[in-house]
Amino acid sequence: MELPKRQPEITGTITSLDLREDGINFALKCVIPNYGAGRASFNLEGSLESAGGFIYGTGCGSMEDGTFLGLLAV
């Protein structure tokens, strides 16, 4: 099954990074084409002894005219 691409690819800049024994927390900012500014933070949890882990985070953005887009949780 092939899904059509709905959004442009986005490259962000990491603004903070916290390395912990049980994972990594990082925040980033980006410019989203046709929308405006975006910010997000993610938590990667896992360990070197396991083959799995978790990722979760939140994000928000604003359009070029200043309209706030809200909150995204992943």
Q: Could you tell me which residues come within 8 angstroms of residue 38 by beta carbon, excluding any fewer than 6 positions away?
A: 10, 12, 29, 30, 31, 32, 59, 60, 61
Q: Could you tell me which residues come within 8 angstroms of residue 74 by beta carbon, excluding any fewer than 6 positions away?
A: 42, 55, 56, 57, 58, 59
Tens-place pLDDT, residues 20-39: 888 899 999 988 877 788 88
Q: 14 pLDDT band (50/70/90 cuts)?
A: very high
Predicted confidence at residue 1, as pLDDT, reads 85
